[in-house]
A and B are shown apart, each in its own frame.
Chain A
């Protein structure tokens, strides 16, 4: 089985986001980048499929040199090799998907894993872009996956329930929390990752179809009211929700 995992890096989830001086991006000073939490699940699933069905797991990431850290984490978890689509330019999700699709077109991929979404852009679009560009199937937001031969049975999360989906390989699978518990890299894995040098391929970064014109903090909320500190506050709270906030 020829398995790929697309990974992106995101600011550590505890980061307080500050807009940078350009007003369009974030201030990257003191920001620690990590492997997108959903991509950890994607790497784990790729490793499990390989362990069950044999084959090879290749991680792929488009971005500047800073993504090498993220790639290394995936290698340390146990991926066999990596591809870095390298660019110093700004790019949008469409451009990234095009670059990854161009690489995968010649790579004979059976199975491509992605995260459900990047917790920085919150787009959740990449997996479907990729499948549409490659003309293959996609199952998004997957919480359960069974593969036998080329047959795929998946459960995906939808509002208020789950959809059971059947499809065939080659396919893109976007992974949601609940699918598995990602393993931690072992010391051996970390040592081994140091010897696996990612293949570097130049990526122009374009063309993008969207551009961020402004990045701002959400408007600060005015200080709230402490209504009370015991049950006697309850009628007052109900009154405020009725007549002041008008939400009930």
Chain B
């Protein structure tokens, strides 16, 4: 019987939340398509410590590929590992989270398996036994339904677009032997620098964003304080990034990150089409802008037409008061 694989990405000894989302989505998809689901974990011997949490989201079978050389990320070796597992288990659907790692492994694996590939999907379903996927295109200005024509289908799923549903179960693990060539390690990660441990805008459930109107890097502290009480991350418009108030990795929009958080709070952002492209699929949008004609209000669920320098601190204080 053919199977469905979900790649579990881990960093710093923890599986990423977006991988749990992919695992839950995979569990339900496997049910509708009649496929046996497995989670795939690659790494050095330390991955054995992750099998229990890998099995906690609806898929109890965990396949591991361990090799001392997989302790640091090497894209070609990881792709070889997933390809080998796919062949061993006759996989017909392979899911990754649409992260920097997942996107490249997905594309590699698709070439190795002559599969169809669709990246950054926001909806995946089984209709009459076949797979139907939807992915945003034109940076969220349109949605496309894609048919995957090859027998094997590789997908990456956008973080935050699928719920991670805990379903504790004991892991049944199996090690899949894979042999690597030297070329597999032709590209190696030598170090990972985290941006002072801060939450990435693409992964945060709540994002507080600021625009040109913040006026300085220091003023973004106001937004950081609000993000802190909400457990969220700080994003920025391109105008704020180009003015040097925030690093590019925080930019939301057509040439920045495309995100779908649960809550997006836009502070002093006009809502240019390129900005909307990056955040219009957020579940709930709040806009704070002193111009009531600003286009951001056309897509906001809730708006306050006022000076952000008054509203943002008041909002932070109100939330703090309530959480005490």
Chain A residues 42 to 76 lying within 8 A of chain B, measured CB to CB, are none
A128: chain B residues within 8 A (beta carbon): 103-104, 107-108, 111
Contact check, A245 vs B119: say whether CB atoms are below 8 A apart. Answer: no
A11: chain B residues within 8 A (beta carbon): 138
Query: A17 interface residue, CB < 8 Å from B?
Result: yes
The size of the chain B interface, using a CB distance under 8 A, is 94
B256: chain A residues within 8 A (beta carbon): 177
Whole-angstrom distance between the Cβ of A231 and the nearest chain B Cβ: 5
Q: Please, what's the 1-or-0 string for B306-323, where 1 marks a CB less than 8 Å from any CB in chain A?
A: 100011001100110010
Chain B residues 272 to 299 lying within 8 A of chain A, measured CB to CB, are 273-274, 277, 280-281, 283-287, 292, 297, 299
Known: A124-B119, A164-B189. A177 touches B139 (CB 8 A): no
Partner-contacting stretch, out of B53-61, B171-179, B191-199? B191-199
- Closest residue of chain B to A231, judged by CB? B314
Contact check, B206 vs A248: say whether CB atoms are below 8 A apart. Answer: yes
A215: chain B residues within 8 A (beta carbon): 137, 142-145
Contact check, A211 vs B186: say whether CB atoms are below 8 A apart. Answer: no
Partner-contacting stretch, out of A83-91, A103-111, A185-193, A219-227? A219-227
Query: B69 interface residue, CB < 8 Å from A?
Result: no
Whole-angstrom distance between the Cβ of A119 and the nearest chain B Cβ: 6
- Closest residue of chain A to B248, judged by CB? A178
Q: Please, what's the 1-or-0 string for B69-95, where 1 marks a CB less than 8 Å from any CB in chain A?
A: 000010110010000000000000000
Known: A164-B192, A209-B117. A157 touches B249 (CB 8 A): yes
Bound Cα distance from A193 to B248, whole angstroms: 32
Known: A17-B142, A171-B187, A231-B310. A226 touches B297 (CB 8 A): yes
Interface residue ranges, A against B (CB under 8 Å): 11, 13-17, 19, 26, 37-38, 93-94, 119-125, 128-129, 131-133, 135-141, 143, 156-168, 171, 177-178, 208-218, 221, 224-231, 233-235, 237-238, 240-241, 245, 247-248
Interface residue ranges, B against A (CB under 8 Å): 16, 73, 75-76, 79, 99-101, 103-104, 106-108, 110-112, 114-120, 135-150, 183, 186-195, 197-200, 202-203, 206, 230, 248-249, 251, 254-256, 258, 262-263, 273-274, 277, 280-281, 283-287, 292, 297, 299-306, 310-311, 314-315, 318-319, 322
Would you list 30 pairs from A and B whose C-beta atoms are within 8 A, ordered by A residue?
Answer: A37-B254, A37-B255, A122-B258, A123-B120, A125-B117, A128-B104, A129-B107, A129-B111, A135-B183, A138-B104, A143-B248, A157-B249, A158-B99, A160-B203, A164-B192, A165-B187, A166-B190, A215-B137, A215-B143, A224-B285, A224-B303, A225-B303, A226-B292, A226-B297, A226-B303, A237-B315, A238-B319, A238-B322, A241-B284, A248-B319
